[in-house]
A and B are shown apart, each in its own frame.
Chain A
Amino acid sequence: MTAPHANLLELSGVHASYGRISVLHGVDLAVGAGRIVALLGPNGAGKTTTLNVAAGLHPADRGDVRVGGRVVAGADPVELARRGVCLIPEGRGIFPNLTVRENLRMMTFTGADRAAVEEIAYARFPKLAERRRQTAGTMSGGEQQMLALARGLATDPAVLLIDELSMGLAPLVVAELYELVVEIARTGVAVLVVEQFASTVMRICDLAAVMVNGRIERVDAPGDDLLADLSALYLGSAT
């Protein structure tokens, strides 16, 4: 058992690059059990790369990634998934040509029981139960994201990483999905959310980290002050 507020996910001094372009220059970030941390910042700051490094999709050049206190740098995504790291990637968290049910079945590779996965998912999202035989790619964007999030719910991960949950969705749907993220966090999962829409995610997160040019510039409790900072970053300073 981990202590209630132990940092389930810890990145320290992580550097990463695409070819000659280095993207992360020493990222330090920690997410405790049951906490939601939002990772914000302009495009190209390295937010998605940070998530990919944490999930093992992209190698870190330097620095440590710890999950539950153990160093996992260099582990591949399959291994990390089995250790309880769950990344829901941007805009494509589902298999579009598989049915809803088959998508849920894919969540059993990490050891979860098939019947249990279906029960949990259908209980939380009755819509998915209605559409269990439907091809996932033909559902609405919101329903697809529900299916994607069901993985975070049903596979009982230690760390949940979510990339741009709101991409292309109506604000009401987004709000509903984030409610679920809060529920998941309450069960003791460490949640790291990358989100373009800062004001949306600030309503639910415990901490917001602002990332600029591959570094965490500031970590703070959500508030207007932080929001003003971000709008200057996105659209250029008003002066």
Chain B
Amino acid sequence: MALLEASAVTVRFGGNVALAEVDLTAEAGQVTGLIGPNGAGKTTLFNVVSGLVRPRTGRVLLDGRNVTRLGPAARARRGLGRTFQRLEIFGHLTVRDNLRVAAEFHRDGLPADPILDRLGLADIADVRADSVPTGRARLVELGRALAVRPKALLLDEPASGQDEHETERFGELLRELAADGLAVVLVEHDMRLVMEACDVVHVLDLGRLIASGPPDRIRADAAVLDAYLGAPS
């Protein structure tokens, strides 16, 4: 059974349907990609899964337990971690304290320094987080999420602001995290990263899931091409 399973999620904002009956599953040990044109509903889906937005209908299962009625903190305690497209780092704390404060929310949080080493952030451990450039700040958010020992990890455009070399390194990191047994869900616009790092890719368009499958199949999928390029008349 999938570690993370959202089914038939519908969200409306005013009269607009942001998500219509969307299903998403993520297996432990895999990197699951979630792509789609702007406004497709990717971040909204993350917000539903992490408990920041309440869906009209649908449910979210985490590790086999129904968490639909739980708040974000309770979901986090059950092993759900996430990062944000618009950075939400603790700017007035140092990088190390960003991780420490997260770990302290839990009884079994991880120590900061090994994670910082792993993410290559050791050199800025004592720098105040809001002076860290965006690309690395995204790694700080990732490190913060890792410090609470997540089982599933939602990453919202983690590579934006990173340069080519950093992105390459980041792709390897995602594979390592999956190999550790995490279910990683990746929203990303950098297609090279998505195609290289993901085991399976889901495509959202206008709030609907239009395709799912391995990267190669997605790349050749006519519906996906239409979603990105517009329907040929």
A and B in direct contact, judged by CB atoms within 8 A: yes
Check: B105 CB closer than 8 A to any chain A CB.
no
Interface range on chain A: under 10, 10 to 19, 20 to 34, or 35 or more? 20 to 34
Please report which residues of chain B, range 145-193, place their CB below 8 angstroms from some CB of chain A when the two chains form the complex.
160-161, 189, 191-192
Q: Is the CB of A137 within 8 A of B219?
A: no
Give the B interface residue count (CB, 8 A). Answer: 28
Q: Is the CB of B133 within 8 A of A20?
A: yes
Q: Is the CB of A164 within 8 A of B38?
A: yes
Q: Is the CB of A137 within 8 A of B38?
A: no
Nearest A residue to B188 by beta-carbon distance? A43
- What's the nearest-Cβ distance from chain B to residue A118, in Å? 25
Chain B residues lying within 8 Å of A236, measured Cβ to Cβ, are 191-192, 194-195, 215, 219
Binds B, one of A28-36, A79-87, A167-175: A167-175
Chain A residues lying within 8 Å of B16, measured Cβ to Cβ, are 141, 168
Check: A200 CB closer than 8 A to any chain B CB.
yes
Check: A238 CB closer than 8 A to any chain B CB.
yes
Q: Is the CB of B231 within 8 A of A168?
A: no
Q: Is the CB of B38 within 8 A of A235?
A: no
Binds A, one of B54-62, B93-101, B106-114, B220-228: B220-228
Task: Identify which of A44, A171, A201, A234 contacts B228 (C-beta below 8 A).
Answer: A234
Q: A234-B228, A234-B229 are in contact. Are A91 and B39 (CB under 8 A)?
A: yes
Chain B residues lying within 8 Å of A168, measured Cβ to Cβ, are 16, 39, 206
Q: Is the CB of B233 within 8 A of A175?
A: yes
Q: Is the CB of B228 within 8 A of A231?
A: yes
Chain A interface residues (CB < 8 Å from chain B): 19-21, 42-44, 91, 137-138, 141, 164, 166-168, 171, 174-175, 195-201, 203, 227, 230-231, 234-236, 238
| 21 A-B residue pairs with CB within 8 Å | A43-B37, A44-B189, A138-B15, A164-B38, A166-B230, A167-B39, A168-B16, A168-B39, A168-B206, A195-B230, A196-B38, A199-B230, A199-B232, A203-B233, A230-B229, A234-B229, A235-B224, A236-B191, A236-B192, A236-B195, A236-B215
